[in-house]
Chain A
Amino acid sequence: MSEIVLDVRDLEAGYEPGVPIVRGASITVRKGEIVVVLGPNGAGKSSFIKAIAGLVPITGGTVFLDGKDITAAPAHTMVRLGLAFVPQTENIFPLMSVEDNLRVACGILERREIPARIEEMYAAFPDLVRQRRTAAGNLSGGQRQMLAVARALIVHPKVLVLDEPSAGLSPKFVSMVFEMLANIRKSGVTILLVEQNAKAALAIGDRAYVLVEGKDRHEGIASELWNDPVVAELYLGQRPLKSEGGSAA
Protein backbone atom coordinates (compact mmCIF):
# COMPACT_ATOMS: atom_id res chain seq x y z
CA MET A 1 0.00 0.00 0.00
CA SER A 2 1.12 3.50 -0.68
CA GLU A 3 2.07 5.91 2.07
CA ILE A 4 -0.51 7.75 4.16
CA VAL A 5 -0.97 11.39 3.14
CA LEU A 6 -3.75 12.45 5.45
CA ASP A 7 -4.25 10.84 8.83
CA VAL A 8 -7.15 12.04 10.96
CA ARG A 9 -7.41 10.50 14.43
CA ASP A 10 -10.32 10.80 16.88
CA LEU A 11 -11.24 14.23 15.60
CA GLU A 12 -13.62 16.25 17.74
CA ALA A 13 -14.86 19.59 16.48
CA GLY A 14 -17.76 22.03 16.75
CA TYR A 15 -18.62 25.69 16.54
CA GLU A 16 -19.59 26.05 20.18
CA PRO A 17 -17.60 24.74 23.14
CA GLY A 18 -19.26 21.72 24.71
CA VAL A 19 -21.39 21.05 21.62
CA PRO A 20 -19.28 18.78 19.43
CA ILE A 21 -20.59 18.03 15.96
CA VAL A 22 -17.70 15.77 15.06
CA ARG A 23 -17.25 13.22 17.86
CA GLY A 24 -14.13 11.17 17.45
CA ALA A 25 -13.92 10.54 13.72
CA SER A 26 -10.85 8.83 12.24
CA ILE A 27 -9.91 8.35 8.59
CA THR A 28 -6.77 7.83 6.56
CA VAL A 29 -6.12 8.84 2.98
CA ARG A 30 -3.27 7.21 1.08
CA LYS A 31 -1.29 8.71 -1.74
CA GLY A 32 -3.15 8.66 -5.06
CA GLU A 33 -6.45 7.53 -3.59
CA ILE A 34 -9.93 8.95 -3.83
CA VAL A 35 -11.52 8.58 -0.42
CA VAL A 36 -15.22 9.31 -0.01
CA VAL A 37 -16.94 10.23 3.24
CA LEU A 38 -20.64 9.38 3.18
CA GLY A 39 -23.31 9.67 5.78
CA PRO A 40 -26.92 10.57 6.44
CA ASN A 41 -28.05 14.16 6.73
CA GLY A 42 -26.76 15.87 9.83
CA ALA A 43 -24.02 13.29 10.36
CA GLY A 44 -21.43 16.06 10.60
CA LYS A 45 -19.75 15.30 7.26
CA SER A 46 -19.39 18.92 6.28
CA SER A 47 -18.16 19.99 9.72
CA PHE A 48 -15.70 17.11 9.69
CA ILE A 49 -14.11 18.16 6.44
CA LYS A 50 -14.17 21.86 7.36
CA ALA A 51 -12.46 21.07 10.66
CA ILE A 52 -9.67 19.34 8.74
CA ALA A 53 -9.32 22.48 6.60
CA GLY A 54 -9.08 24.67 9.69
CA LEU A 55 -12.51 26.26 9.34
CA VAL A 56 -14.29 24.68 12.32
CA PRO A 57 -12.62 24.81 15.75
CA ILE A 58 -11.05 21.46 16.71
CA THR A 59 -11.53 20.44 20.33
CA GLY A 60 -9.85 17.04 20.28
CA GLY A 61 -7.90 14.56 18.17
CA THR A 62 -5.19 15.18 15.60
CA VAL A 63 -4.79 15.80 11.88
CA PHE A 64 -1.52 14.75 10.26
CA LEU A 65 -0.62 15.73 6.71
CA ASP A 66 2.41 13.93 5.31
CA GLY A 67 3.43 13.10 8.86
CA LYS A 68 3.19 16.71 10.01
CA ASP A 69 0.74 17.75 12.72
CA ILE A 70 -1.56 20.39 11.18
CA THR A 71 -4.29 20.18 13.81
CA ALA A 72 -3.94 23.75 15.08
CA ALA A 73 -2.91 25.36 11.80
CA PRO A 74 -4.94 28.44 10.81
CA ALA A 75 -7.03 28.07 7.65
CA HIS A 76 -4.90 30.46 5.58
CA THR A 77 -1.77 28.35 6.13
CA MET A 78 -3.37 25.14 4.81
CA VAL A 79 -2.42 25.65 1.15
CA ARG A 80 1.20 26.15 2.16
CA LEU A 81 1.05 22.94 4.20
CA GLY A 82 -0.31 21.11 1.15
CA LEU A 83 -4.05 20.91 1.76
CA ALA A 84 -6.35 22.63 -0.74
CA PHE A 85 -10.01 22.89 0.16
CA VAL A 86 -12.99 23.44 -2.16
CA PRO A 87 -16.08 24.56 -0.20
CA GLN A 88 -19.53 23.38 -1.18
CA THR A 89 -20.95 26.80 -2.07
CA GLU A 90 -19.56 30.28 -2.63
CA ASN A 91 -16.29 28.72 -3.72
CA ILE A 92 -15.32 31.42 -6.24
CA PHE A 93 -14.88 35.20 -6.05
CA PRO A 94 -17.88 36.29 -8.17
CA LEU A 95 -16.74 39.81 -9.11
CA MET A 96 -13.21 38.84 -10.08
CA SER A 97 -12.36 37.51 -13.54
CA VAL A 98 -11.73 33.79 -13.98
CA GLU A 99 -8.03 34.54 -14.39
CA ASP A 100 -7.87 36.69 -11.25
CA ASN A 101 -9.62 33.93 -9.33
CA LEU A 102 -6.77 31.64 -10.30
CA ARG A 103 -4.08 34.24 -9.78
CA VAL A 104 -5.23 35.30 -6.31
CA ALA A 105 -4.77 31.69 -5.18
CA CYS A 106 -1.11 31.65 -6.32
CA GLY A 107 0.23 33.43 -3.24
CA ILE A 108 2.51 30.54 -2.28
CA LEU A 109 3.93 29.97 -5.77
CA GLU A 110 7.12 31.49 -7.12
CA ARG A 111 6.22 34.64 -9.05
CA ARG A 112 7.80 33.47 -12.31
CA GLU A 113 6.07 30.10 -12.06
CA ILE A 114 2.57 31.62 -11.98
CA PRO A 115 1.84 32.36 -15.68
CA ALA A 116 2.86 28.85 -16.75
CA ARG A 117 0.83 27.32 -13.93
CA ILE A 118 -2.26 29.27 -14.98
CA GLU A 119 -1.81 28.02 -18.55
CA GLU A 120 -1.55 24.46 -17.23
CA MET A 121 -4.89 24.93 -15.49
CA TYR A 122 -6.42 26.23 -18.72
CA ALA A 123 -5.05 23.19 -20.52
CA ALA A 124 -6.66 20.92 -17.94
CA PHE A 125 -9.94 22.85 -17.93
CA PRO A 126 -10.37 24.12 -21.52
CA ASP A 127 -13.84 25.49 -20.73
CA LEU A 128 -12.24 28.16 -18.60
CA VAL A 129 -9.91 29.53 -21.30
CA ARG A 130 -12.66 31.19 -23.30
CA GLN A 131 -13.99 32.78 -20.11
CA ARG A 132 -10.69 33.99 -18.72
CA ARG A 133 -11.78 37.65 -18.71
CA THR A 134 -15.37 36.90 -17.61
CA ALA A 135 -16.44 37.71 -14.08
CA ALA A 136 -16.57 34.35 -12.34
CA GLY A 137 -20.08 35.09 -11.06
CA ASN A 138 -21.34 34.81 -14.65
CA LEU A 139 -20.15 31.22 -15.10
CA SER A 140 -22.56 28.28 -15.19
CA GLY A 141 -22.78 26.01 -12.16
CA GLY A 142 -20.51 23.39 -13.67
CA GLN A 143 -17.93 25.93 -14.81
CA ARG A 144 -17.88 27.48 -11.36
CA GLN A 145 -17.11 24.11 -9.87
CA MET A 146 -14.31 23.65 -12.44
CA LEU A 147 -12.87 27.03 -11.55
CA ALA A 148 -13.03 26.23 -7.84
CA VAL A 149 -11.22 22.94 -8.41
CA ALA A 150 -8.65 24.52 -10.74
CA ARG A 151 -8.03 27.22 -8.15
CA ALA A 152 -7.37 24.54 -5.53
CA LEU A 153 -5.12 22.46 -7.80
CA ILE A 154 -3.00 25.37 -8.96
CA VAL A 155 -0.84 25.27 -5.81
CA HIS A 156 0.19 21.58 -6.25
CA PRO A 157 -1.63 20.34 -3.14
CA LYS A 158 -0.69 17.05 -1.51
CA VAL A 159 -4.38 16.42 -0.98
CA LEU A 160 -7.43 17.98 -2.61
CA VAL A 161 -10.37 18.16 -0.19
CA LEU A 162 -13.88 18.78 -1.53
CA ASP A 163 -17.14 19.41 0.29
CA GLU A 164 -20.02 17.98 -1.78
CA PRO A 165 -18.77 18.99 -5.22
CA SER A 166 -22.04 17.87 -6.85
CA ALA A 167 -24.37 19.83 -4.56
CA GLY A 168 -26.82 22.06 -6.37
CA LEU A 169 -25.73 20.98 -9.84
CA SER A 170 -28.02 19.67 -12.55
CA PRO A 171 -27.55 15.94 -13.40
CA LYS A 172 -25.56 16.76 -16.53
CA PHE A 173 -23.05 18.76 -14.50
CA VAL A 174 -22.97 16.17 -11.72
CA SER A 175 -21.58 13.50 -14.03
CA MET A 176 -19.20 16.07 -15.51
CA VAL A 177 -17.83 16.96 -12.06
CA PHE A 178 -17.24 13.31 -11.08
CA GLU A 179 -15.61 12.62 -14.42
CA MET A 180 -13.35 15.60 -13.77
CA LEU A 181 -12.38 14.27 -10.33
CA ALA A 182 -11.60 10.83 -11.75
CA ASN A 183 -9.32 12.47 -14.33
CA ILE A 184 -7.60 14.56 -11.67
CA ARG A 185 -6.82 11.43 -9.70
CA LYS A 186 -5.34 9.86 -12.82
CA SER A 187 -2.88 12.74 -12.90
CA GLY A 188 -1.68 11.64 -9.45
CA VAL A 189 -3.58 13.95 -7.11
CA THR A 190 -4.89 12.53 -3.84
CA ILE A 191 -8.54 13.36 -3.18
CA LEU A 192 -10.78 13.38 -0.13
CA LEU A 193 -14.42 14.25 -0.67
CA VAL A 194 -17.63 14.37 1.25
CA GLU A 195 -20.75 13.52 -0.76
CA GLN A 196 -24.50 13.17 -0.52
CA ASN A 197 -24.57 11.61 -3.94
CA ALA A 198 -23.31 8.24 -2.72
CA LYS A 199 -23.73 6.26 -5.92
CA ALA A 200 -21.75 8.63 -8.13
CA ALA A 201 -19.08 9.16 -5.49
CA LEU A 202 -18.59 5.44 -4.84
CA ALA A 203 -18.30 4.88 -8.59
CA ILE A 204 -15.10 6.95 -8.75
CA GLY A 205 -13.81 6.33 -5.19
CA ASP A 206 -11.27 3.78 -3.95
CA ARG A 207 -12.34 3.60 -0.34
CA ALA A 208 -15.18 5.11 1.62
CA TYR A 209 -16.15 5.83 5.19
CA VAL A 210 -19.64 6.18 6.57
CA LEU A 211 -19.95 8.92 9.13
CA VAL A 212 -22.90 8.76 11.54
CA GLU A 213 -23.49 11.22 14.37
CA GLY A 214 -20.03 12.67 14.01
CA LYS A 215 -18.21 9.32 14.18
CA ASP A 216 -16.81 7.00 11.50
CA ARG A 217 -18.91 3.88 11.79
CA HIS A 218 -17.94 1.88 8.74
CA GLU A 219 -15.16 1.63 6.21
CA GLY A 220 -14.77 -0.30 3.01
CA ILE A 221 -13.77 -0.59 -0.61
CA ALA A 222 -15.86 1.93 -2.50
CA SER A 223 -17.13 -0.47 -5.16
CA GLU A 224 -18.31 -2.95 -2.50
CA LEU A 225 -19.93 -0.43 -0.21
CA TRP A 226 -22.88 0.31 -2.47
CA ASN A 227 -24.32 -3.16 -1.83
CA ASP A 228 -23.09 -3.45 1.75
CA PRO A 229 -26.05 -4.17 4.09
CA VAL A 230 -24.28 -2.42 6.98
CA VAL A 231 -24.24 0.82 5.01
CA ALA A 232 -27.94 0.61 4.29
CA GLU A 233 -28.56 -0.06 7.95
CA LEU A 234 -26.39 2.86 9.08
CA TYR A 235 -28.17 5.17 6.71
CA LEU A 236 -31.68 3.97 7.35
CA GLY A 237 -31.21 2.96 10.95
CA GLN A 238 -30.46 6.47 12.12
CA ARG A 239 -33.38 8.35 10.69
CA PRO A 240 -35.30 8.15 7.44
CA LEU A 241 -33.40 9.81 4.65
CA LYS A 242 -34.85 13.06 3.54
CA SER A 243 -35.10 12.98 -0.20
CA GLU A 244 -31.70 13.99 -1.50
CA GLY A 245 -32.61 13.32 -5.11
CA GLY A 246 -32.76 9.63 -4.22
CA SER A 247 -28.99 9.68 -3.94
CA ALA A 248 -28.36 7.31 -1.08
CA ALA A 249 -31.58 5.35 -0.85
Chain B
Amino acid sequence: MSLQFVVDGLLTGSMIGLGAIGVTLTYSILRFSNFAHGDFMAWGTYATLAVVSAIGAMVGKVAPIGPLSFGWPLIVALIVGMAFTALLALLLDKVLFARLRSQGQAIIVVMASFGASMALRSLLEFTFTSRPTYFSRAIQIAMPVGFGIRITPDQIALLLLTAVLVLGVHLLMTRTQTGRSMQALSQNAALARIVGIDVASVVRVTWVIGGALACVAGVMIGILVQIRPFMGFDMLLPMFAAAILGGIGSIPGAVLGGLIIGLAEAGAVQLIGAEWRAAVSFIILMAVLFVRPIGLFGVRER
Protein backbone atom coordinates (compact mmCIF):
# COMPACT_ATOMS: atom_id res chain seq x y z
CA MET B 1 0.00 0.00 0.00
CA SER B 2 1.07 3.57 -0.63
CA LEU B 3 2.47 5.55 2.28
CA GLN B 4 0.41 8.54 1.18
CA PHE B 5 -2.10 7.59 3.86
CA VAL B 6 0.42 8.81 6.48
CA VAL B 7 0.19 12.42 5.27
CA ASP B 8 -3.58 12.23 4.83
CA GLY B 9 -3.94 10.63 8.24
CA LEU B 10 -1.74 13.19 10.00
CA LEU B 11 -3.74 16.02 8.44
CA THR B 12 -7.12 14.57 9.34
CA GLY B 13 -5.66 13.71 12.72
CA SER B 14 -4.54 17.31 13.28
CA MET B 15 -8.05 18.58 12.64
CA ILE B 16 -9.54 15.93 14.91
CA GLY B 17 -6.89 16.58 17.58
CA LEU B 18 -7.39 20.36 17.67
CA GLY B 19 -11.11 19.79 18.02
CA ALA B 20 -10.63 17.08 20.63
CA ILE B 21 -8.66 19.49 22.86
CA GLY B 22 -11.82 21.53 23.28
CA VAL B 23 -13.94 18.42 23.86
CA THR B 24 -11.59 17.03 26.49
CA LEU B 25 -11.29 20.38 28.32
CA THR B 26 -15.06 20.91 28.44
CA TYR B 27 -15.56 17.33 29.56
CA SER B 28 -12.98 17.41 32.34
CA ILE B 29 -13.52 20.96 33.62
CA LEU B 30 -17.24 21.55 33.03
CA ARG B 31 -18.14 17.87 33.28
CA PHE B 32 -20.35 17.47 30.27
CA SER B 33 -20.06 16.28 26.67
CA ASN B 34 -20.51 19.34 24.50
CA PHE B 35 -22.18 18.12 21.32
CA ALA B 36 -22.19 21.68 19.97
CA HIS B 37 -18.40 21.65 19.75
CA GLY B 38 -18.45 20.56 16.09
CA ASP B 39 -20.76 23.44 15.28
CA PHE B 40 -18.30 25.87 16.88
CA MET B 41 -15.93 24.62 14.15
CA ALA B 42 -18.42 25.33 11.41
CA TRP B 43 -19.37 28.74 12.80
CA GLY B 44 -15.72 29.70 13.15
CA THR B 45 -15.06 28.65 9.58
CA TYR B 46 -17.97 30.62 8.16
CA ALA B 47 -16.99 33.63 10.27
CA THR B 48 -13.46 33.38 8.86
CA LEU B 49 -14.87 33.04 5.35
CA ALA B 50 -17.04 36.12 5.88
CA VAL B 51 -14.03 38.16 7.04
CA VAL B 52 -11.95 36.95 4.08
CA SER B 53 -14.74 38.05 1.73
CA ALA B 54 -15.05 41.39 3.50
CA ILE B 55 -11.31 42.02 3.21
CA GLY B 56 -11.49 40.97 -0.43
CA ALA B 57 -14.29 43.45 -1.04
CA MET B 58 -12.31 46.24 0.62
CA VAL B 59 -8.78 45.80 -0.73
CA GLY B 60 -9.37 43.75 -3.84
CA LYS B 61 -7.51 40.62 -4.79
CA VAL B 62 -4.47 39.79 -2.65
CA ALA B 63 -1.65 37.59 -3.93
CA PRO B 64 -1.14 34.34 -2.01
CA ILE B 65 1.89 33.97 0.25
CA GLY B 66 4.66 32.08 -1.59
CA PRO B 67 3.46 28.66 -2.72
CA LEU B 68 0.41 28.68 -0.42
CA SER B 69 -3.16 28.94 -1.72
CA PHE B 70 -4.03 31.84 0.56
CA GLY B 71 -2.73 35.32 1.39
CA TRP B 72 -2.61 37.48 4.51
CA PRO B 73 -6.37 38.11 4.50
CA LEU B 74 -7.00 34.50 5.54
CA ILE B 75 -4.51 34.77 8.41
CA VAL B 76 -6.14 37.97 9.66
CA ALA B 77 -9.59 36.45 9.16
CA LEU B 78 -8.56 33.32 11.09
CA ILE B 79 -7.54 35.42 14.10
CA VAL B 80 -10.85 37.29 13.93
CA GLY B 81 -12.68 33.99 13.49
CA MET B 82 -10.95 32.50 16.55
CA ALA B 83 -12.03 35.48 18.64
CA PHE B 84 -15.54 35.22 17.23
CA THR B 85 -15.81 31.50 18.01
CA ALA B 86 -14.47 32.06 21.52
CA LEU B 87 -17.14 34.72 22.05
CA LEU B 88 -19.80 32.40 20.62
CA ALA B 89 -18.79 29.71 23.11
CA LEU B 90 -18.83 32.22 25.99
CA LEU B 91 -22.23 33.52 24.91
CA LEU B 92 -23.71 30.04 24.63
CA ASP B 93 -22.36 29.22 28.09
CA LYS B 94 -23.84 32.38 29.57
CA VAL B 95 -27.32 32.07 28.12
CA LEU B 96 -27.64 28.28 28.21
CA PHE B 97 -25.04 26.00 29.81
CA ALA B 98 -24.18 28.03 32.93
CA ARG B 99 -27.85 28.26 33.94
CA LEU B 100 -28.44 24.55 33.50
CA ARG B 101 -25.11 23.66 35.13
CA SER B 102 -26.14 25.50 38.29
CA GLN B 103 -29.09 23.12 38.57
CA GLY B 104 -26.58 20.35 38.87
CA GLN B 105 -27.74 17.73 36.36
CA ALA B 106 -25.09 16.95 33.76
CA ILE B 107 -27.42 15.05 31.43
CA ILE B 108 -29.64 18.13 30.99
CA VAL B 109 -26.61 20.17 29.94
CA VAL B 110 -25.64 17.45 27.45
CA MET B 111 -29.14 17.48 25.96
CA ALA B 112 -29.05 21.27 25.80
CA SER B 113 -25.78 21.10 23.89
CA PHE B 114 -27.45 18.71 21.45
CA GLY B 115 -30.23 21.21 20.91
CA ALA B 116 -27.76 24.07 20.57
CA SER B 117 -25.85 21.99 18.03
CA MET B 118 -28.93 21.55 15.84
CA ALA B 119 -29.93 25.19 16.16
CA LEU B 120 -26.45 26.47 15.28
CA ARG B 121 -26.24 24.15 12.27
CA SER B 122 -29.68 25.13 10.99
CA LEU B 123 -28.81 28.80 11.30
CA LEU B 124 -25.75 28.20 9.12
CA GLU B 125 -27.80 26.34 6.51
CA PHE B 126 -30.39 29.09 6.59
CA THR B 127 -27.79 31.82 6.12
CA PHE B 128 -25.25 30.19 3.82
CA THR B 129 -27.30 27.29 2.30
CA SER B 130 -25.96 23.76 2.52
CA ARG B 131 -24.00 24.10 -0.75
CA PRO B 132 -20.29 23.54 -0.15
CA THR B 133 -18.02 26.53 -0.56
CA TYR B 134 -14.24 27.08 -0.54
CA PHE B 135 -11.61 29.52 0.64
CA SER B 136 -9.82 29.10 -2.67
CA ARG B 137 -10.58 27.16 -5.82
CA ALA B 138 -6.96 27.18 -6.89
CA ILE B 139 -5.50 23.69 -7.36
CA GLN B 140 -2.21 23.15 -5.54
CA ILE B 141 0.46 20.94 -6.98
CA ALA B 142 1.53 18.30 -4.47
CA MET B 143 5.29 17.92 -4.17
CA PRO B 144 6.80 14.44 -4.02
CA VAL B 145 8.86 13.99 -0.84
CA GLY B 146 9.93 10.37 -1.36
CA PHE B 147 8.48 6.99 -0.38
CA GLY B 148 5.62 7.68 -2.78
CA ILE B 149 4.35 10.48 -0.54
CA ARG B 150 3.15 13.78 -1.99
CA ILE B 151 2.34 16.83 0.08
CA THR B 152 1.09 20.33 -0.78
CA PRO B 153 2.53 23.56 0.69
CA ASP B 154 -0.82 24.22 2.41
CA GLN B 155 -0.65 20.84 4.11
CA ILE B 156 2.87 21.50 5.41
CA ALA B 157 1.85 24.92 6.72
CA LEU B 158 -1.19 23.52 8.52
CA LEU B 159 0.74 20.66 10.10
CA LEU B 160 3.23 23.20 11.44
CA LEU B 161 0.41 25.42 12.71
CA THR B 162 -1.11 22.45 14.54
CA ALA B 163 2.23 21.60 16.15
CA VAL B 164 2.70 25.20 17.33
CA LEU B 165 -0.84 25.45 18.74
CA VAL B 166 -0.64 22.09 20.53
CA LEU B 167 2.70 23.00 22.07
CA GLY B 168 1.29 26.37 23.11
CA VAL B 169 -1.75 24.86 24.81
CA HIS B 170 0.38 22.22 26.50
CA LEU B 171 2.73 24.87 27.92
CA LEU B 172 -0.24 26.96 29.01
CA MET B 173 -1.71 23.99 30.87
CA THR B 174 1.49 22.88 32.59
CA ARG B 175 3.53 26.07 33.08
CA THR B 176 1.08 28.83 33.93
CA GLN B 177 -1.10 29.56 36.92
CA THR B 178 -4.15 29.58 34.62
CA GLY B 179 -3.30 26.09 33.38
CA ARG B 180 -2.68 24.76 36.88
CA SER B 181 -6.02 26.25 37.94
CA MET B 182 -7.70 24.41 35.05
CA GLN B 183 -6.05 21.14 36.11
CA ALA B 184 -7.07 21.77 39.71
CA LEU B 185 -10.67 22.45 38.76
CA SER B 186 -10.85 19.28 36.70
CA GLN B 187 -9.48 17.19 39.59
CA ASN B 188 -11.48 18.60 42.50
CA ALA B 189 -13.84 21.52 41.99
CA ALA B 190 -14.57 22.08 45.69
CA LEU B 191 -10.89 22.11 46.65
CA ALA B 192 -10.15 24.44 43.74
CA ARG B 193 -12.46 27.02 45.31
CA ILE B 194 -10.90 26.47 48.73
CA VAL B 195 -7.40 27.25 47.42
CA GLY B 196 -8.72 30.50 45.98
CA ILE B 197 -9.44 29.66 42.35
CA ASP B 198 -12.27 31.68 40.81
CA VAL B 199 -14.17 28.92 39.04
CA ALA B 200 -16.11 31.31 36.79
CA SER B 201 -12.94 32.80 35.31
CA VAL B 202 -11.35 29.38 34.71
CA VAL B 203 -14.54 28.28 32.96
CA ARG B 204 -14.30 31.31 30.69
CA VAL B 205 -10.69 30.51 29.77
CA THR B 206 -11.76 26.94 28.98
CA TRP B 207 -14.40 28.14 26.52
CA VAL B 208 -12.02 30.62 24.91
CA ILE B 209 -9.36 27.96 24.29
CA GLY B 210 -11.88 25.36 23.10
CA GLY B 211 -13.68 27.80 20.82
CA ALA B 212 -10.53 29.28 19.30
CA LEU B 213 -9.02 25.87 18.54
CA ALA B 214 -12.34 24.63 17.10
CA CYS B 215 -12.20 27.56 14.69
CA VAL B 216 -8.65 26.65 13.59
CA ALA B 217 -9.66 23.02 13.05
CA GLY B 218 -12.66 24.15 11.00
CA VAL B 219 -10.59 26.51 8.86
CA MET B 220 -8.12 23.67 8.23
CA ILE B 221 -10.99 21.56 6.92
CA GLY B 222 -12.12 24.55 4.88
CA ILE B 223 -8.70 24.99 3.29
CA LEU B 224 -8.01 21.31 2.63
CA VAL B 225 -11.50 19.95 1.96
CA GLN B 226 -14.52 22.21 1.78
CA ILE B 227 -16.81 24.40 3.87
CA ARG B 228 -20.29 23.05 4.68
CA PRO B 229 -22.70 23.64 7.56
CA PHE B 230 -22.31 19.95 8.52
CA MET B 231 -18.49 20.02 8.48
CA GLY B 232 -18.24 20.24 12.26
CA PHE B 233 -21.03 17.87 13.12
CA ASP B 234 -19.38 15.20 10.97
CA MET B 235 -16.24 15.59 13.11
CA LEU B 236 -18.09 14.99 16.37
CA LEU B 237 -17.63 11.22 16.59
CA PRO B 238 -13.91 11.28 15.67
CA MET B 239 -13.33 14.13 18.16
CA PHE B 240 -15.01 12.31 21.04
CA ALA B 241 -13.26 9.09 20.09
CA ALA B 242 -9.92 10.95 20.13
CA ALA B 243 -10.62 12.61 23.50
CA ILE B 244 -11.60 9.30 25.07
CA LEU B 245 -8.76 7.36 23.42
CA GLY B 246 -6.26 9.92 24.75
CA GLY B 247 -7.78 9.95 28.22
CA ILE B 248 -10.27 12.63 29.25
CA GLY B 249 -8.55 15.81 30.43
CA SER B 250 -5.22 15.12 28.74
CA ILE B 251 -4.16 17.62 26.05
CA PRO B 252 -1.33 15.45 24.66
CA GLY B 253 -3.75 12.52 24.82
CA ALA B 254 -6.39 14.33 22.78
CA VAL B 255 -3.86 15.21 20.09
CA LEU B 256 -2.30 11.75 19.99
CA GLY B 257 -5.80 10.23 19.94
CA GLY B 258 -6.67 12.50 17.02
CA LEU B 259 -3.57 11.48 15.09
CA ILE B 260 -4.20 7.78 15.71
CA ILE B 261 -7.79 8.06 14.55
CA GLY B 262 -6.77 10.16 11.54
CA LEU B 263 -4.15 7.59 10.53
CA ALA B 264 -6.55 4.70 11.12
CA GLU B 265 -9.21 6.39 8.99
CA ALA B 266 -6.78 7.10 6.17
CA GLY B 267 -5.39 3.57 6.33
CA ALA B 268 -8.87 2.06 6.30
CA VAL B 269 -9.81 4.14 3.27
CA GLN B 270 -6.86 2.66 1.41
CA LEU B 271 -7.29 -0.89 2.60
CA ILE B 272 -11.01 -1.48 2.66
CA GLY B 273 -12.61 1.49 0.97
CA ALA B 274 -13.79 5.03 1.67
CA GLU B 275 -17.27 3.99 2.74
CA TRP B 276 -15.77 2.58 5.96
CA ARG B 277 -14.07 5.81 7.01
CA ALA B 278 -16.77 6.81 9.49
CA ALA B 279 -16.87 3.35 11.06
CA VAL B 280 -13.22 3.59 12.14
CA SER B 281 -13.82 6.16 14.89
CA PHE B 282 -16.73 4.18 16.18
CA ILE B 283 -14.77 0.93 16.31
CA ILE B 284 -11.83 2.61 18.05
CA LEU B 285 -14.18 4.31 20.51
CA MET B 286 -15.86 1.02 21.40
CA ALA B 287 -12.55 -0.80 21.66
CA VAL B 288 -11.16 1.83 24.07
CA LEU B 289 -14.29 1.77 26.20
CA PHE B 290 -14.11 -2.01 26.50
CA VAL B 291 -10.37 -2.47 26.90
CA ARG B 292 -9.09 0.66 28.63
CA PRO B 293 -11.91 3.08 29.43
CA ILE B 294 -9.53 5.60 31.00
CA GLY B 295 -7.69 6.01 27.67
CA LEU B 296 -3.99 6.22 26.93
CA PHE B 297 -3.06 9.07 29.30
CA GLY B 298 -6.02 8.78 31.63
CA VAL B 299 -5.74 8.01 35.30
CA ARG B 300 -8.19 6.06 37.38
CA GLU B 301 -10.30 8.13 39.73
CA ARG B 302 -8.97 7.73 43.21
Contact = CB atoms under 8 A, between A and B. Distances in A.
Interface string A69-112: 00000111111100001010011111110001001111110000
B188 interface: yes
A155 interface: yes
B194 A85 contact: yes
Contacts of B59: none
A85 B184 CA distance: 16
B184 A96 contact: yes
Contact of B184 (A78, A79, A104, A108): A104
B302 A105 contact: no
Contacts of A60: none
Contact of A76 (B187, B188, B193): B193
A91 B302 CA distance: 12
Interface in A167-204: none
Nearest to B199: A76
Given A87-B191, A96-B183, A137 B302 contact: yes
B195 interface: yes
Scoring B180, B195, B198 by chain A CB atoms within 10 A of each residue's CB, the highest score goes to: B195
Given A78-B196, A104-B177, A108-B196, A93 B302 contact: no
Contacts of A79: 194-196
B252 to A, nearest CB: 14
A222 interface: no
A151 interface: yes
Dominant secondary structure at the A interface: loop
Interface string B186-224: 011011111111110000000000000000000000000
A76 to B, nearest CB: 5
Given A76-B199, A107-B177, A55 B183 contact: no
Contact of A96 (B187, B190, B196): B187
Interface in A100-158: 100, 103-108, 137, 151, 155
Nearest to A103: B180
A53 B194 contact: yes
A55 B187 contact: no
Given A94-B302, A100-B180, A75 B191 contact: no
Give the secondary structure class of B's interface.
Answer: helix
Contacts of A93: 183-184, 187-188, 191
A116 to B, nearest CB: 17
Interface string B169-182: 00000000100110
Contacts of A54: 193
A95 B180 CA distance: 11
Contacts of A107: 177, 181, 195-197
Interface residues of B, number: 19
Given A93-B184, A96-B180, A137-B302, A104 B190 contact: no
A155 B191 contact: no
B190 A55 contact: yes
B187 A105 contact: no
Contacts of A155: 196
Contacts of B299: 95, 137
A13 B191 CA distance: 20
A78 B190 CA distance: 13
A91 B191 contact: yes
Contact of B197 (A53, A76, A151): A76
Contacts of A80: 196
A76 B198 CA distance: 6
B193 to A, nearest CB: 4
A95 B187 contact: yes
Contacts of B302: 94, 137
Nearest to B301: A94
B191 A90 contact: yes
A197 B187 CA distance: 29
A99 to B, nearest CB: 10
Contacts of A53: 194
The 10 closest A-B pairs by CB, nearest first: A79-B196, A104-B180, A105-B195, A75-B193, A76-B193, A93-B187, A107-B196, A104-B184, A94-B302, A76-B198
Given A94-B187, A104-B180, A107-B195, 19 more contacts: A54-B193, A76-B193, A76-B197, A76-B198, A76-B199, A78-B196, A79-B196, A80-B196, A90-B191, A94-B302, A95-B183, A95-B299, A96-B183, A103-B180, A104-B183, A104-B197, A137-B299, A151-B195, A155-B196
